[in-house]
Amino acid sequence: MSRQPDYRIDGGVALVTGAAGGIGAAIAERLVREGSNVALVDRDAAGLEDLAGRLRVRRPDREVTAIVADLAEPQTPADVVSQALAQHGRLTLVINNAGVALAGRFEQVSIADVDWLLAINLRGVLAVTAAALPSLGSGAQITNISSLFGIVAPVGNSVYSASKFGVRGFSMALRTELAPRGIGVTTVYPGGIKTAIARHARRGVGVSEAEWEVGLRAYDRFLVIEPSVAARKIIDGTSRRRARVLIGPETYAGDLLARLAPTGHSSVFEYVARKRAGL
């Protein structure tokens, strides 16, 4: 199979979910800087409008739209894509970045919490992709954000890992399915990116205050890579239509560990992570 030409950012139209902050905002900033039009999606209306305003000033020759929406609602993904198409007329790139976290071991969280996380982290990715696919032509690109925890599954992240392993499997199969249509699919595995995802995580009903504080301290030491660094790697991998984009030394280490110890890597990763966090 011949390699697809690179995805052309300049002049394209990108739909970016989870765009109001963190990695999503950094991705949007880089896309607009390189000449893309963008439809930005997030439930944070104030953050989204602030970002959209900055991007319009930076590139007044590009169209920037803000769509306030909560992807946890079943009909939202289809509505978001419809709005983006109505405002831009077409889509050439979909970046499924929206994601949330849930603190606690599986026995410490409720099924309602599980449903909430899966609705955003996994169903949202599938549903946005399904809604966008009919409008994507040859040369289009889909980039899905998985996680280091879509490669390794550490203790206390069972539900989050389930969602990110799901994104990984979906993206791998989709890449093969869409290749004959000339549509690329890239899966991204970020490691310790400096975002607020841990502090904004939903706390499982069985998680004590002490456990919560210890977890936050650990993640403060783990999340050190600037979102702009991640965005640069994501956009580079997207434009080159790479199958996988790994970000951060811990992700490369986790990828190797999962290959060397496919059934025992969780305990090893947990030990190393706790040592690194000083616990």
- Residues with catalytic function: 160
Cα separation, 148 vs 198, in Å, equals: 14
d(CA 207, CA 106): 10
Do 147 and 160 touch, CB atoms closer than 8 A?
Answer: yes
Show Cβ contacts of residue 147 under 8 Å, excluding neighbours closer than 6 positions: 99, 160, 161, 164, 167, 189, 190
Determine which helix (DSSP H) or strand (DSSP E) holds 15, and give its type and residue range.
strand 13-17
Q: Which of 220, 225, 213 lies closest to 250, judged by CA? A: 225
Query: In whole angstroms, what is the distance from residue 36 CA to residue 53 CA?
Result: 15
Indicate the Cα dihedral angle 219, 225, 231, 233, nearest 10°: -120
Alpha helices in 100-226 (DSSP H): 111-118, 124-132, 158-178, 209-222
Which among 137, 123, 146 is positioned nearest to 234, based on CA atoms? Answer: 146
Q: What is the per-residue DSSP string for 69-117?
A: --TTSTTHHHHHHHHHHHHHS--SEEEE-----EES-GGGS-HHHHHHH
